[in-house]
Amino acid sequence: MTPLIKRLTENPKNDILSGLTVALALVPEAVAFAFVAGIDPLVGLYGAFIMGIITSVFGGRPGMISGATGAMAVVMVHMIQQGNLVGKSLATPIDNLGLQWLFITLLIVGAIQIIAGLFKLGKFVRLIPHPVMMGFVNGLAIVIFLSQLGMFKEMSSGSAEWLTGSPLYIMLGLVALTMAIMHLLPKLTDKIPSALVAIIVVAAITIFGNLDVSTVGSFIRDGGGTGLQGGLPSLQVQIPSMLASVSGHWGLIVSTAFLLAAVGLIESLMTLNLVDELTDTRGSGNRECIAQGSANILSGMFGGMGGCAMIGQSIINVESGGRGRLSGIVAAVALLAFILFGASLIEQIPIGALVGVMFMVVIGTFAWSSFRILNKIPIADAIVLVTVSAVTVWQDLAIAVIVGVIMSALVFAWKNATMIRARKKMKPNGTKVYEIWGPLFFGSIQNFNAKFDVKNDPDNVEIDFIESKVSDHSSIEALKNIANKYLESGRTIKLTHLSSECQALLLKANPKFADIIETSIDDPRYYVVRDLVDEV
What are the helix (H) ranges across 92-164?
97-118, 130-149
What confidence score (pLDDT) does residue 231 get? 77
pLDDT at 216 over 60: yes
C-alpha distances out from residue 273 to 64, 269, 506, Å: 10, 6, 41
What confidence score (pLDDT) does residue 137 get? 82
Residue 214 lies in a domain: yes
Looking at the fold, whether 38 and 77 belong to one and the same domain comes out as: yes
C-alpha distances out from residue 29 to 173, 238, 250, 283, 335, Å: 21, 29, 30, 25, 12
Please tell me the distance from the alpha carbon of residue 197 to that of residue 239, in angstroms, as a whole number.
46
Average pLDDT value for residue range 335-340: 90
Of residues 404, 67, 120, the one with CA closest to residue 285:
120
- 239-243 long-range contacts, Cβ below 8 Å, gap at least 24? 242/100, 242/103, 242/104, 243/104
Q: Phi/psi zone of residue 448: left (φ > 0), alpha (ψ -120 to 50 degrees), beta?
A: alpha
Tell me the pLDDT tens digit for each residue of 71-121: 788 788 889 989 989 888 887 788 888 898 999 999 999 999 999 999 998
Helix (H, G, I), strand (E, B) or coil at 490: coil
What confidence score (pLDDT) does residue 2 get? 66
Total domains present in the chain: 3
Q: Which residues pair with 309 in a beta bridge?
A: 66
Provide the b/e sequence for 168-202 (b: ≥16 CB within 10 Å).
eebbeebbebbbebbeebeeeeeebbbbbbbbbeb
Q: Which residues pair with 463 in a beta bridge?
A: 434, 495
Please tell me the distance from the alpha carbon of residue 398 to that of residue 259, in angstroms, as a whole number.
10
Q: Which residues pair with 472 in a beta bridge?
A: 529
Please tell me the distance from the alpha carbon of residue 325 to that of residue 284, in angstroms, as a whole number.
14
What's the one-letter identity of residue 326?
A: L
Looking at the fold, whether 221 and 363 belong to one and the same domain comes out as: yes
Q: Which domain holds residue 37?
A: 3-128+136-153+160-367
**Looking at residue 159, what DSSP letter applies?**
E
Please tell me the distance from the alpha carbon of residue 17 to that of residue 166, in angstroms, as a whole number.
33
364 and 179 Cβ atoms separated by less than 8 Å? no
Average of per-residue pLDDT values in the chain? 87
Looking at the fold, whether 452 and 399 belong to one and the same domain comes out as: no
500 and 475 Cβ atoms separated by less than 8 Å? no
Looking at the fold, whether 429 and 328 belong to one and the same domain comes out as: no
What confidence score (pLDDT) does residue 445 get? 92
What confidence score (pLDDT) does residue 218 get? 84
Please tell me the distance from the alpha carbon of residue 206 to that of residue 215, in angstroms, as a whole number.
10
Domain boundary (359, 393, 411) is at 411
Of residues 331, 66, 80, 21, the one with CA closest to residue 203:
21
Looking at the fold, whether 195 and 341 belong to one and the same domain comes out as: yes
Least confident piece of the model among 349-353, 377-381, 463-467, 522-526: 522-526
Q: Nearest-5° angle of CA 505, CA 508, CA 510?
A: 110
- 388-391 long-range contacts, Cβ below 8 Å, gap at least 24? 388/131, 388/132, 388/134, 388/135, 388/136, 388/138, 388/139, 389/135, 389/136, 389/138, 389/139, 389/142, 390/139, 391/139
C-beta atoms surrounding 11 within 10 Å: 15
Helix (H, G, I), strand (E, B) or coil at 45: helix
Helix (H, G, I), strand (E, B) or coil at 265: helix
Please tell me the distance from the alpha carbon of residue 337 to that of residue 524, in angstroms, as a whole number.
63
C-beta atoms surrounding 472 within 10 Å: 18
Looking at the fold, whether 233 and 323 belong to one and the same domain comes out as: yes
Q: Nearest-5° angle of CA 216, CA 181, CA 354?
A: 20
Q: Which residues pair with 453 in a beta bridge?
A: none
213 and 167 Cβ atoms separated by less than 8 Å? yes
Residues near 437 by beta carbon (within 8 Å), at least 6 away in sequence: 420, 421, 422, 423, 467, 468
Please tell me the distance from the alpha carbon of residue 140 to that of residue 144, in angstroms, as a whole number.
6
Residue 148 lies in a domain: yes
- Highest mean pLDDT (candidates 137-146, 199-208, 271-280): 199-208
Residue 376 lies in a domain: no
C-beta atoms surrounding 522 within 10 Å: 8
CATH number for the domain spanning 430: value is 3.30.750.24
86 and 252 Cβ atoms separated by less than 8 Å? no
Residue 29 lies in a domain: yes
Looking at the fold, whether 394 and 358 belong to one and the same domain comes out as: no
Q: How are beta strands 492-496 and 517-518 bridged, if at all?
A: parallel
Residue 233 lies in a domain: yes
Please tell me the distance from the alpha carbon of residue 82 to that of residue 117, in angstroms, as a whole number.
31
Tell me the pLDDT tens digit for each residue of 415-445: 888 888 999 999 999 999 999 998 888 899 9
Residue 375 lies in a domain: no
Looking at the fold, whether 220 and 263 belong to one and the same domain comes out as: yes
Residue 374 lies in a domain: no
Looking at the fold, whether 362 and 393 belong to one and the same domain comes out as: no
Looking at the fold, whether 489 and 388 belong to one and the same domain comes out as: no
pLDDT band at 170 (very low <50, low <70, confident <90, very high): very high
What confidence score (pLDDT) does residue 36 get? 74
Looking at the fold, whether 145 and 259 belong to one and the same domain comes out as: yes
Tell me the pLDDT tens digit for each residue of 365-387: 788 888 888 888 889 999 999 99
Residue 9 lies in a domain: yes
Looking at the fold, whether 363 and 512 belong to one and the same domain comes out as: no
